Amino acid sequence: MTAAKGTGTSTQVGPPLWLLAELTYRCPLQCPYCSNPLDFAQSEQELSTEQWFSVLRQGREMGAAQLGFSGGEPLVRPDLPELIAEARNLGYYTNLITSGLGLTDAKVDAFAEAGLDHIQISFQASDPELNNAVAGSRKAFEQKLAMAEAVKSAGYPMVLNFVIHRHNIHQMPDILDLCERLGADYVELATCQYYGWAFRNREGLMPSLAQLTKAEAEVNEARERLQASGSAMKLIFVTPDYYEERPKACMNGWGSLFLTVAPDGTALPCHSARLLPIDFPKVQSTSLKEIWYDSPGFNHYRGDTWMPEPCRSCDEKGKDFGGCRCQAYLLTGNADNADPVCSKSAHHDRILAARRAADHATAGLDDLVYRNVKNSRLFFRS
């Protein structure tokens, strides 16, 4: 505790209600906005089934109720059905976050039997051509469509996720049509968040303000139409915070609700926190309880005593906690700084420059760096 910078103590800190199990970094796709670390290929070690069981048990005892299985592509883990069954047994609400590649009708049914509550399938676009180009796979789109339908007919709620960027944002009306046709219950339209591969490719991904404004109007229109028709389809549009003047309350506060366990067992307050120059503990050597309540890594940015100006004396610090530490680090070189999205930040000009660049960007899909092992190796060799 004494080594920690934050003010969090075991008594003030609430339980981690949300556990994200990143089962693997392996994935058949190559999305250029992937949130996995750039050097993911450096860490090939994965927790065993037994080790995951232990993580799940400890997390549930501490109060975690929502559990996400993600990756990489979680379907590459052959023990996924066992992990689902164990999680369901423990009382988690279990979410599978998948690209749909490697999914089959039989698996969809087997997972339901094991107690899986929900499958989220991510799409890259509303048509095969663009979808497959972004995903770096020739048959991805057809497979995704088939699996979305399989998920629905197996009785799960249908949750579709579209990652939005400058190359597909113009498809918004088609995307919404497709979701309606498929009968989705929830649609997440998630504009890229610029960490990991998306940060590396930001110039080629970030939509212009004009593009964004148009898409927002289209989404709002669709919302009204859905509401008027009594449809229960829910649209969630996550816009890029690069167009805001105040940062998001990242993860609802550092170490306040979310606990991520990376494939190699590293425990993180958020899946991108790995890029920070902070030492995070591993579940193999430290109990989850100790990690959450007592580790220097998790206490590092709890409370507000770590804040420099302008956050320190700002009356909004209880609202946004100074924004995102990863964004502060990526854009200013110091993770303690205010998130530069904030107009009070001395580094806000970096955000303004990115907006200007988005107005004039000409890069095509071919200019993006795709997320694959070969490209990843370049990042840790250099």
Partner 1 sequence: MSEDGASRIPRLRRGFRFQWEPVQSCHVLLYPEGMVKLNDSAGAILGEVDGQRNVDLIVASLQLKFPDENDLGADVREFLNDAVQRHWIEWL
> 162 forms bridges with which residues in the sheet?
123, 189
**Of the residues 63, 308, 318, 364, which one makes contact with partner 1 according to CB under 8 A:** 63
Partner whose binding site includes residue 85, from ligand SF4, partner 1, none (CB under 5 to 8 Å by kind): none
**Of the residues 37, 72, 74, 303, which one makes contact with ligand SF4 according to CB under 6 A:** 72
Residue 316 engages ligand SF4 in binding (rule: CB under 6 A):
yes
**Of the residues 10, 91, 346, 367, which one makes contact with partner 1 according to CB under 8 A:** 91
Q: Are 292 and 258 in contact (CB under 8 A)?
A: no
Determine the Cα–Cα distance for residues 90 and 289; give it in Å rounded to an integer. 17
Tokens of 129: 């051509």
Residue 303 engages ligand SF4 in binding (rule: CB under 6 A):
no
| Least distance CB 108 / ligand SF4 (angstroms) | 18
Give the chain's end-to-end CA distance (angstroms, integer). Answer: 36
Count of residues that bind partner 1 according to CB under 8 A: 21
Determine the Cα–Cα distance for residues 304 and 142; give it in Å rounded to an integer. 49
**Of the residues 62, 110, 226, 235, which one makes contact with partner 1 according to CB under 8 A:** 62
**Of the residues 310, 332, 355, 365, which one makes contact with ligand SF4 according to CB under 6 A:** 310
**Of the residues 22, 46, 73, 188, which one makes contact with ligand SF4 according to CB under 6 A:** 73
Residue 321 engages partner 1 in binding (rule: CB under 8 A):
no
**Of the residues 46, 86, 117, 294, which one makes contact with partner 1 according to CB under 8 A:** 117
Partner whose binding site includes residue 371, from partner 1, ligand SF4, none (CB under 5 to 8 Å by kind): ligand SF4
Determine the Cα–Cα distance for residues 41 and 35; give it in Å rounded to an integer. 13
Q: Which of 75, 32, 37 is nearest to 264 (CA)?
A: 37
Contacts of residue 378, defined as CB under 8 A and 6 or more positions apart, other chains included, come to none
Q: Are 73 and 98 in contact (CB under 8 A)?
A: yes
Q: Which of 19, 106, 107, 29 is nearest to 70 (CA)?
A: 19
Partner whose binding site includes residue 99, from ligand SF4, partner 1, none (CB under 5 to 8 Å by kind): ligand SF4
Determine the Cα–Cα distance for residues 2 and 296; give it in Å rounded to an integer. 8
Q: Which is nearer to partner 1, 155 or 277 (CB)?
A: 155
Q: Are 64 and 57 in contact (CB under 8 A)?
A: no
The DSSP line for 44-83 is -----HHHHHHHHHHHHHHT--EEEEESS-GGG-TTHHHH
Partner whose binding site includes residue 216, from ligand SF4, partner 1, none (CB under 5 to 8 Å by kind): none
Q: Which is nearer to partner 1, 53 or 93 (CB)?
A: 93
Q: Which stretches of the chain bind ligand SF4, using CB under 6 A?
A: 27, 29-31, 34, 36, 71-73, 99, 246-247, 310-311, 314, 316-317, 320, 322-323, 338-339, 342, 344, 371
Q: Which stretches of the chain bind partner 1, using CB under 8 A?
A: 15, 17, 62-63, 65-66, 68, 91, 93, 95, 117-118, 120, 155-157, 159, 185-186, 232, 234
